């Protein structure tokens, strides 16, 4: 039995007992999901949805190996990490092996927010400083300490902007101050950080940390220009601070080739602290902060113990170990690179067709579709994006719209997403955009075909890994005619198309 109550009763009980600020997806017409497997979710009527939202069910919803690993450990023992246990050390060792050698000390937590809060404590404790530089539109978690450094939240709410928080412009080359036509956007955006540091110093303030997602997610799927992180790291370290990367959304191979998104910025960029969460336990609450020995030793020298009841418990670590095993066994990073590149290619073809699509950007299975009212001005198509996600839901595709203008369709599905899923998603989106453009009378202007200057270089690189290369538009059309994109687009027993 999957349901306790009818959908109406669930909604009524939610309205009565759950805090009104805990909003649901599609508030105008919420979906009730009762079960899920792989990249599909099923509602109370048994209708199947293609899940393009869940980067938590990383290796696929309810993956049997993860479920079995957690169940086995749950039967045997679950307790806090003050007892010696093999799972926590085995997991820490596996995690450290994915990172540059200096990032080798782990602290386990239960959520991305706890991980970022601890990262701030580590950074502030390191040299006894307080100030944090964060990026415009960033979101780093729901704890008080993180709302303070999350303009995504504090700029919308009534929370004050704290004097120890400095907001740097998002290094967005599509919508930001310095765009793809700028000779050196990385340098220009880094110069803004330099000004912030200088201004803070003038006021007698000291920088503890710069924090950024390796690729901004809630901020609208923004890929910082090449070289930006290197330059900022130099400035921040020069000012005595540390560089924290938040990989809560974008870590664990989502971008394909590399295990960590920060690695897509180049071998010469290594942060001082990395935080991670969402995908780690495939739905089991498991998160972590990894840092250097020097920073960890400074934290220890303060004399305060760090104890987190559930952080790194044997069951969570068993789930985490199983996730790593599945990623390797099913080559999910390879899949993210191949399917992500193919999907980006298909979406770029849609860009040629639909004037509402202003930009397609992303790497691997982390892709954004920036909807615009007009391409020249790049005016965000906010209402249109909301319309699109509701219409896509009717077509059984779950998408969200985010970014400061809520006009960027976010694609971050489970990593077992297939090429057939990509085709199905694009076919439905094509239909929805066609009807919408007809109804609002949008003129489809000629668009530049293929990858744009922003962010699609890496997918192009990954695209070449597709067996036989990504199909061209004629091949796709022919596949559709051959019924390859039918509604039941992926046989139940087939996990991957590699």
In the complex, the smallest distance separating the C-beta of residue 117 from ligand PLP, rounded to whole angstroms, is 9
Question: Considering only residues 133-192, where is the footprint of ligand PLP by CB under 6 A?
Answer: 139-142
Task: Choose which of 54, 87, 113, 292 interacts with ligand PLP (CB under 6 A).
Answer: 113
Q: Cα(61)–Cα(54) distance, rounded to whole angstroms?
A: 9
Query: Measured between alpha carbons, how far is 53 from 56 in angstroms, rounded to an integer?
Result: 9
CB of 214 to ligand PLP, least distance (A): 10
**Residue 360 near residue 452 (C-beta atoms within 8 A):** yes
Binding segment for ligand PLP (CB under 6 A), chosen from 95-103, 125-133, 244-252, 483-491, is 244-252
Q: Which of 246, 359, 370, 421 binds ligand PLP (CB under 6 A)?
A: 246
Among 39, 217, 344, 418, binds ligand PLP (CB under 6 A): 217
Tokens of 130: 């307080």
CB of 1 to ligand PLP, least distance (A): 29
From residue 218 to residue 237, the character string flagging contacts with ligand PLP as x (rule: CB under 6 A) and all else as - is x-------------------
Q: Give the distance from CA 190 to its chain's centroid.
A: 23
Concatenating the DSSP letter of every residue in 115-182 gives HHHHHHHHHHHHHT--EEEEETT----SSHHHHTT-HHHHTTSS----TTEEEEPP--TTTSSS-TTS
Q: Beta partners for 357?
A: 371
Element (H, E) at 402: strand 400-402
Closest CA to 339 of 196, 199, 489, 483: 489
Residue range at the interface with ligand PLP (CB under 6 A); choices 11-19, 107-115, 124-132, 294-302: 107-115
**68-76, 119-127, 187-195, 213-221 -> range binding ligand PLP (CB under 6 A):** 213-221
Residue 452 binds ligand PLP, judged by CB under 6 A? no
3-state secondary structure (DSSP) of residue 324? helix
Q: Which of 60, 112, 320, 340 binds ligand PLP (CB under 6 A)?
A: 112
> By beta-carbon distance, which residue lies closest to ligand PLP?
112
Judged by CB, which is closer to ligand PLP: 120, or 347?
A: 120
Candidates 2-10, 109-117, 313-321, 395-403: pick the segment binding ligand PLP (CB under 6 A).
109-117
**Around Cβ 125, how many Cβ atoms within 10 Å?**
17
Q: Which of 73, 81, 116, 428 binds ligand PLP (CB under 6 A)?
A: 116
Q: Which of 248, 289, 324, 401 binds ligand PLP (CB under 6 A)?
A: 248
Q: Given the complex with ligand PLP, which of 222 and 432 has the nearer CB atom?
A: 222
Provide the angle, in degrees to the nearest 10, between the axes of the packed helices 314-329 and 64-76.
150
Angle at 152 between CA 151 and CA 154, to 5 degrees: 55
3-state helix, strand, coil in the chain (%, to 5): 40, 15, 45
Q: Which is nearer to ligand PLP, 32 or 142 (CB)?
A: 142
Using the minimum distance from each CB to ligand PLP, give the nearer residue, 153 or 495.
Answer: 153
Give how many residues touch ligand PLP by CB under 6 A: 16
Q: How far is CA 442 from the centre of its chain?
A: 31
What the block records as the tokens of 349 is 């073809």
Q: Give CA 290 to chain center in angstroms.
A: 18
Q: Which residue's CB is nearer to ligand PLP, number 145 or number 335? A: 145
User: Which parts of this chain interact with ligand PLP (CB under 6 A)?
Assistant: 111-113, 116, 139-142, 213, 217-218, 246, 248-249, 277-278
């Amino acid at each position: 039995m999957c349901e306790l109550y009818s959908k109406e009763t669930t909604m009524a009980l939610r309205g009565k007992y759950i805090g009104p600020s805990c909003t649901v997806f599609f508030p105008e017409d919420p979906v009730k999901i009762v079960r899920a497997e792989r990249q599909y979710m099923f509602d109370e009527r048994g209708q199947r949805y293609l899940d393009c939202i869940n980067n938590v069910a990383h290796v696929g919803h309810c993956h049997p190996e993860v479920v079995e690993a957690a169940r086995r450990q749950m039967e045997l023992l679950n307790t806090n990490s003050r007892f010696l246990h093999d799972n926590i050390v085995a997991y820490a060792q596996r995690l450290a092996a994915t990172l540059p050698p200096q990032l080798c000390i782990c602290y386990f937590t239960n959520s991305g927010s706890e991980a970022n809060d601890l990262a701030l404590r580590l950074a502030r404790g390191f040299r006894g400083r307080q100030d944090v530089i964060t990026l415009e539109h960033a979101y780093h978690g729901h704890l008080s300490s993180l709302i303070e450094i999350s303009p995504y939240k504090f700029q919308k709410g009534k929370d004050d902007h704290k004097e120890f928080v400095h907001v740097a412009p998002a290094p967005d080359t599509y919508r930001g101050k310095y765009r793809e036509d700028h000779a050196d956007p990385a340098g220009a955006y880094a110069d803004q950080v330099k000004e912030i540091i200088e201004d803070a110093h003038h006021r007698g303030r000291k920088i503890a940390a710069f924090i950024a997602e390796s690729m901004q997610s809630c901020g609208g799927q923004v890929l910082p220009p090449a070289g930006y992180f290197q330059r900022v790291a130099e400035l921040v370290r020069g000012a005595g601070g540390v560089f924290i990367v938040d990989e809560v959304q974008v870590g664990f191979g989502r971008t394909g080739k590399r295990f960590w998104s920060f690695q897509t910025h180049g071998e010469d960029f290594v942060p001082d602290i990395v935080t991670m969460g969402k995908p780690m336990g495939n739905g089991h609450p498991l998160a972590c902060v990894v840092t250097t020995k020097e920073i960890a030793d400074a934290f220890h020298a303060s004399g305060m113990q760090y104890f987190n009841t559930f952080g790194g418990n044997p069951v969570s670590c068993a789930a985490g170990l199983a996730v790593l095993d599945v990623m390797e066994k099913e080559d999910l990073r390879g899949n993210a690179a191949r399917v992500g590149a193919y999907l980006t290619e298909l979406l770029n073809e849609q860009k040629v067709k639909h004037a509402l699509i202003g930009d397609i950007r992303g790497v691997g299975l982390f892709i954004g579709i920036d909807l615009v009212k007009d391409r020249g001005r790049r005016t965000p198509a906010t209402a249109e994006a909301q319309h699109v996600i509701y219409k896509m839901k009717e077509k059984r595709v779950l998408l969200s719209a985010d970014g400061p203008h809520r006009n960027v369709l976010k694609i971050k599905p489970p990593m077992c997403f297939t090429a057939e899923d990509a085709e199905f998603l694009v076919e439905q989106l094509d239909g929805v955009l066609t009807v919408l453009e007809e109804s609002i009378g949008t003129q489809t202007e000629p668009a530049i075909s293929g990858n744009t200057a922003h962010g699609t270089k890496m997918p192009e690189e990954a695209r070449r890994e597709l067996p036989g290369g990504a199909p061209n538009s004629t091949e796709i059309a022919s596949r559709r005619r051959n019924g390859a994109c039918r509604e039941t687009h992926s046989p139940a027993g087939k996990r991957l198309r590699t």
